[in-house]
Amino acid sequence: MTSGQKDGDAMTDAQLIHADGEAYRNPSEVQMSQIVMPCHANHCGELSVGQLLKWMDSTACLSAERQAGCSCITASVDDIHFELTIGVGKVVNIKAKVNRAFTSSMEVGISVTCEDLYTGRQWKVCHAFATFVARRTETGKVQLKQVIPRTHMEQIEYSLAAERRRMRLIHAEIMTDLLSSSTAQLGECQEYEGAVPAERTRVESVELVLPPHANHQVSTFGGQIMAWMENVATIAASRLCKAHPTLRTIDMFHFRGPSHIGDRLVLKAIVNNSFKHSMEVGVCAEAYQGREPLRHINSAFMTFEVLDNERKPCTLPRIRPEPVDGKRRYVEAIARKKIRLDRKYIISCKQPQVSLSVPWDPSNQMYLSYNNVSALKLMDTRNNWVLTSEKNKVRLYTLEENHMLCFKVEMYVSVPAEQSFHLLSDLTRRKEWDRHYEQCEVIIQADEEDTLYRVVTPSVSKGGKGKDFILLASRRKPCDSRDPYLIALRSVTLPTHPPTEDYTRGEVQCAGFTIREESNSVTKLTYYNQATPGVLPYISTDIAGLSSGFYCTFSACSRFLETSEDTAVVDSAASKEEKSQQKE
């Protein structure tokens, strides 16, 4: 998100004043401020990450319980990247609020900043998303009340929360597929002369869960478990580098089961692999009581660096894995490093900083799809569009910000939303109503939601070369009644389809449709496009008011939707009717 966008959002949010004169505050928001004391720090005078995780989990849990009105437990935490360390005497400010509630789970956004009390300066430390689940009550499963976003930023987080939830639900499956394919491709790992045996970094520790370690529900505090895991992981990392390591990243992880007072928690850690400037440590927590078998509580993968006196990463020793399981962990760590890079450069970066065309690979499909849909959702939440022209209820809006021009076209059609979604999802049919789509072919049908197309558009000038685009189309059905159908488009690169001399390769940064159901037979269609140099020549005359081509195109779109029969929807309706008759 750009600074200009943030300023505009702050102005919009600041206008939300209650009748009593007080500024609006999210009802689920919880804030915690802690001064870092020597007892919270390691031997380097830096706040222990384990202690920070405890504070973050506690704040987020209180926010979740404020929303749910009942006890909640930590289910999972997304990736956490720690940008800076925090010294003794500084103040840690943690803010948590519920972004969106689903049936019995909710996403809590957590932001952490550090404050220097003497200068008043504040800076960002990390940002995280945690999932909490409301505990069952005596009457059964909890049905959470829905979050109603009030400010522009809340609307953004509410919209993106559904996409993040989707990514969490398929994360394990994607990881399994990638790791199995990577293990087969990498085969035997390379031996390094003078490498440190991985077994030398192995750590095992046991903790007795006492009342101070439990939360108000008499379960082991999730933050406490994370703190113990961070402790053994740090020891394992130190055994490799013979120095104090700095934790940089914790991968997305899930709590697989609860732990209670009286449990013994067995914590195990080992360095799985070391790269030039970083190492991955795998750590797991298992619980038992008496002579019962171990219960798997949690597993996590943590990435450490070692910084020199100038705070620059040092070169690390190589690791020599043990046979069988050690080699498996070694290879899997390489695959996870790729996943971390995909997440960092595809998801985490601000949109203008990302290359317009990111290389397509089956292993990064989930992240490209997430980025594709999220970019469209962000554009859909903007509220400062300017109406440029209107003709017969087809409206053209523009938004110019930070030297970038975006436009949207808005209209209503007398076609059910689901039918419009299915018809517009098939880009091969777009040439039936859009004169800019001269040719369109399916290159890869990745799954039901993601398809790669090659699109050819005619030249704008006489005698010039046409353009071709390699587009990823990502489709999403609504998560609930407040969500629209989405068709998001962005450019990707494919080795099998390089640029050719016959066409100029164009790029699309963000484009697509949002389709909202207004009634059973009326649908609001909105088309967005972040006008890149390759797209701008096709619509510049419309934006300048020199033509009304946009009206002709979207009038044709309306006619196409109203006269076409969507076989997918018809077949679905027929199937439902047939099942209903069978039941009768």
What is the pLDDT averaged over residues 547-574? 75
Q: Is residue 469 part of a domain?
A: yes
Q: In this structure, what token pair is assigned to residue 113?
A: 């900043």
Q: Are strands 467-476 and 485-493 parallel, antiparallel or unpaired?
A: antiparallel
Higher pLDDT, 566 or 503: 503
Residues 460 and 328 in one domain: no
CA distances from 429 to 293, 421, 434, 476 (A): 59, 13, 9, 19
Q: Is residue 225 part of a domain?
A: yes
Q: What is the Cα–Cα distance from 349 to 29, expressed in whole angstroms?
A: 26
Residues 155 and 196 in one domain: no
Q: Is residue 63 part of a domain?
A: yes
CB atoms inside a 10 Å sphere around CB 146: 15
Q: Is residue 377 part of a domain?
A: yes
Q: Is residue 479 part of a domain?
A: yes
Residues 48 and 71 in one domain: yes
Residues 127 and 209 in one domain: no
CA distances from 276 to 43, 157, 279, 315, 316 (A): 25, 36, 8, 5, 6
**pLDDT tens string 36-93:** 999 999 888 999 999 999 999 999 999 999 999 888 999 999 989 998 899 999 999 9
**Residue 374 belongs to what domain range?**
363-565
What is the pLDDT averaged over residues 390-416? 88
Q: E strands, 141-294, where?
A: 196-197, 203-208, 246-250, 253-254, 264-274, 279-288
Residues 342 and 404 in one domain: no
Residues 339 and 412 in one domain: no
Last residue of a domain, one of 285, 315, 348: 348
Q: What is the pLDDT of residue 583?
A: 45
Q: What is the Cα–Cα distance from 94 to 32, expressed in whole angstroms?
A: 5
Given a cut of 80, is residue 281 above it in pLDDT? Answer: yes
Q: What is the Cα–Cα distance from 57 to 80, expressed in whole angstroms?
A: 12
Residues 82 and 56 in one domain: yes
Residues 143 and 198 in one domain: no
Last residue of a domain, one of 323, 348, 373: 348
Q: Is residue 551 part of a domain?
A: yes
Query: Across the chain, what does the average pLDDT equal?
Result: 85
Residues 47 and 109 in one domain: yes
Q: Are strands 295-305 and 246-250 parallel, antiparallel or unpaired?
A: antiparallel
pLDDT confidence band for 219 (50 / 70 / 90): confident
Q: In this structure, what token pair is assigned to residue 286?
A: 């298992």
Higher pLDDT, 576 or 380: 380
Q: Is residue 392 part of a domain?
A: yes
Q: Is residue 59 part of a domain?
A: yes
Last residue of a domain, one of 302, 321, 348: 348
The number of folded domains in the chain is: 3
The domain that holds 524 is classified in CATH as 3.30.530.20
What is the chain's percent helix, strand, coil content, to nearest 5?
A: 35, 35, 35
**pLDDT tens string 492-525:** 999 999 999 999 988 888 999 999 999 988 999 9
Q: What is the pLDDT of residue 367?
A: 85
Q: What is the Cα–Cα distance from 138 to 145, expressed in whole angstroms?
A: 18
Residues 146 and 287 in one domain: no
**pLDDT tens string 455-473:** 999 887 777 888 899 999 9
Q: What is the pLDDT of residue 533?
A: 63
The domain that holds 219 is classified in CATH as 3.10.129.10
pLDDT confidence band for 184 (50 / 70 / 90): very low
Using alpha carbons only, how large is the chain's radius of gyration in Å? Answer: 27
Residues 325 and 446 in one domain: no
Residues 379 and 493 in one domain: yes
